[in-house]
Amino acid sequence: MTIHHFYSTDYEQRTGGWIYNRHLIDWLDRNLGGVREMTVPMCFPTPDVAALGEIATLFDGIEPGSVLVMDHIYGCMLLPILRNRTFTLVLIYHHSMTEERGAGDAVTRGDTTEQSALQLADAIIVTSDESRDYVTGHYGIDERKIITGRPGNDPAPQSPIHDGGPWRMLSVGAVIPRKRYEFLVEVLAKVERSDWSLTIAGNTERYPDYVASLQDLIKARSLASHITLAGELTAPALNALWAKTHLYIASSLYEGYGMAISEAICRGVPVISTPSGAVASWAGQAATLVDANDVSEMARQITTVLDDQATYEAAREKAVRFADALPSWEANMAPVGEAWRRLV
């Protein structure tokens, strides 16, 4: 059985989706007889006619009976090309594209396309039980063709203990509606202390209107000197940021897993977050979770950490202890291999 992995080089690489996909493909390559990479230069926001022709030619060259693995985003983009395939199609599903966009007519069309792509797939790899339940409940996908493969964890140096000076907060993720950074702005506007900063590290180019409205809100709340939109950072730059972070905060309504929160915990950084889908199921013992619509309560929780060193140190110790029990990538990919041999 030959396994092919399709992706475009313009897929954002500083995202949980890219990191997960890379670990998964590397594991398949090591354990299931090798993976052949199949790449094209551009697919986003949608592939043009020339790109579609190139991709169709690539797919025509896949031997019947082989397996093609791709992010489900590509499955939605390339639906017409995939309908008459002669190979097995496996999609990697992180979260719904409709959740990513927000409300509107485009969501309805995207919802239909997403359902069609998932129905077309022979197997679907999801990153959490919550994502599995979303796919089965929202799109009516047969649970028997779903493989659950939770993200693993890489060893990481612990971030420093705050022992005086300004508090440095961090939130990692593309600046898109699903992340709800406007909620964090409203939260921080209620924090009466002034010795703090928040850096939001993530792509600022995908939703320019949303980014502009967020910047306007930051100015309107007189927080421009406290909140920085750092954009998409290189791995060394992000590591340098983690190395001086004291508190991680997040406000998403929906996460397929929450890999940035996992990294914060692995680094011993206290986390205050909304439950955001899968996060509540695995991180509840390590993070402080606040109702997704309660601005005042999140502000109170942040203020308590900043005001009381004992509370801060207890939250940090909770993260450190929990991190010791988090499984590795190798351990979490093993069940994927077992299900893969059964389904693919």
In this predicted structure, what is the pLDDT of residue 108? Answer: 43
Residue with tokens 């909770």: 318
Number of domains in the chain: 2
Residue 157 lies in a domain: no
Residue 30 lies in a domain: yes
Burial of 224 (0-12, 13-18, 19+ CB in 10 A): exposed
Contact 169, 246 (CB under 8 A): yes
The angle that helices 16-31 and 329-343 make with each other, rounded to 10 degrees, is 70
Are 130 and 192 members of one domain? no
Are 42 and 109 members of one domain? yes
Residue 159 lies in a domain: no
Are 13 and 76 members of one domain? yes
Are 228 and 280 members of one domain? yes
Are 54 and 97 members of one domain? yes
In this predicted structure, what is the pLDDT of residue 331? Answer: 95
Are 85 and 191 members of one domain? no
Are 228 and 261 members of one domain? yes
List pLDDT tens digits, range 97-136: 877 655 433 444 457 899 999 999 999 999 999 999 999 9
Residue 162 lies in a domain: no
Are 202 and 80 members of one domain? no
CB atoms within 10 A of CB 219: 11
**What is the residue type of 319?**
A
List pLDDT tens digits, range 260-277: 999 999 999 999 999 988
Are 52 and 128 members of one domain? yes
CATH classification at residue 304: 3.40.50.2000
Taking Cα atoms as reference points, which of 154, 158, 134, 136 lies closest to residue 145? 136
In this predicted structure, what is the pLDDT of residue 98? Answer: 74
CB atoms within 10 A of CB 278: 26
Is 169 strand, coil or helix? strand
Residue 71 lies in a domain: yes
Are 90 and 114 members of one domain? yes
Domain residue limits at 121: 3-151+328-343
Enclosing H/E stretch for 28: helix 16-31
CA torsion sign for 30, 35, 40, 44 is negative
